[in-house]
A = this chain, B = another copy of it.
Amino acid sequence: MPQTPRRAERPQGNRYGNRPTMKDVAARAGVGLKTVSRVVNGEPGVTPDTERRVQEAIDALGFRRNDSARVLRKGRTASIGLVLEDLADPFYGPLSRAVEEVAREHGALLINGSSAEDPDREQELVLALCARRVDGLVVIPAGDDHRYLEPELRAGVATVFVDRPAGGIDADVVLSDNFGGARDGVAHLIAHGHRRIGFIGDMPRIHTAAERLRGYRAAMEDAGIPVEESWMSLGVTDPERVRRAAEEMLAGPDPVTAVFTGNNRVTVTVVRVLAEHPRGVALVGFDDIELADLLRPGVTVVAQDAAALGRTAAERLFRQLDGSLLVPERIELPTRLITRGSGELPPAEG
């Protein structure tokens, strides 16, 4: 009778699209549940013969341990979260990769999230990661208030901020010497005879942008050069706006003879503008850009080491998880001035 109604409806497995569980494996191998668990986790105390039977059942059924259940039981997820601004930005790719590499050394997976520089989205992402009970968080903040993380910190979620400090909470932070780097870059231009130096950067509410601006001002002040408002553009850095800002600085009766750009995206745009510009205008940019050495003139930059930022942060994160790290610290990595020509152009008057 082919139509006999079956009592046991599920042939094997169940949800998760019919995945076999340890129970199924145990049944097939004719052993107890716990024995399967032991084999799967390589625990001792299983006869080679039993182990073989279990292994065969595992292979036959295509069993894979359900880590959700494991996590629930064990309390550690072996995964960490990374929240950054935009993975498509060439600055963050290497950073993310460095974090991943350290995570891998510690047997952890990396969950990425892009905040798109939106504080709400940052918070949403961070909390989603916490709900998944990541063991730790590496955050490149978009917002400047991170008190929403207090319960997480109390609960023992390891946390390291990168590139910009946290707001309102006391946490580890790894960043570049934005102030010193910008000051050195601008000083470099001054040393080559420039006095009217433009600055195009991001919104000052972003910590890195503010620090770089501060470096610019410091260098100018050190040289006794009063800064004019018209030399500065601080704001959204979409190419169109940057282009206009650069063109305005270069026009008029008293144009700048050099420009300091506040990040890689701005630098690229300004390089384009200068390529169309008749006069030689000096340029130093913050962040290295690919192929900068092949342009004529080569683009002089203040380079930061994105991979080192990521690596340092991740290593600190895992040291927090080891328990070997107690007091939050601020770690500043040096920047490096790479001269390639564009920063060494002399001022061309008029």
Contacts and interface: CB of A to CB of B under 8 A. Distances in A.
Interface string A90-106: 10111011001100000
Contact of A290 (B69, B131, B291): B291
A110 B128 CA distance: 11
A15 B75 contact: yes
A228 to B, nearest CB: 29
Interface in A174-227: none
Interface stretch (A138-146, A251-259, A267-275, A327-335): A267-275
A292 B17 CA distance: 48
B16 A131 contact: no
Contacts of A18: 154-156
A75 B16 CA distance: 5
Contact of A114 (B62, B100, B292, B293): B100
A133 B93 contact: no
Interface in A54-90: 61-69, 71-72, 75, 77, 79, 86-90
A92 B87 CA distance: 9
Chain A contact patch, size range? 35 or more
Interface in A132-161: 132-133, 150-152, 154-157
Interface string A16-30: 111100000000000
Contacts of A67: 131-133
Contact of A291 (B71, B97, B100, B295): B295
A320 B16 CA distance: 15
A19 B156 CA distance: 9
Contact of A93 (B93, B271, B290, B291): B93
A127 B109 CA distance: 12
A289 interface: yes
A15 B77 CA distance: 12
A187 to B, nearest CB: 26
20 contacts: A19-B155, A62-B150, A64-B131, A66-B131, A67-B131, A67-B132, A68-B132, A68-B133, A87-B97, A88-B94, A88-B307, A96-B112, A109-B128, A109-B132, A110-B113, A268-B290, A275-B294, A289-B290, A290-B290, A291-B292
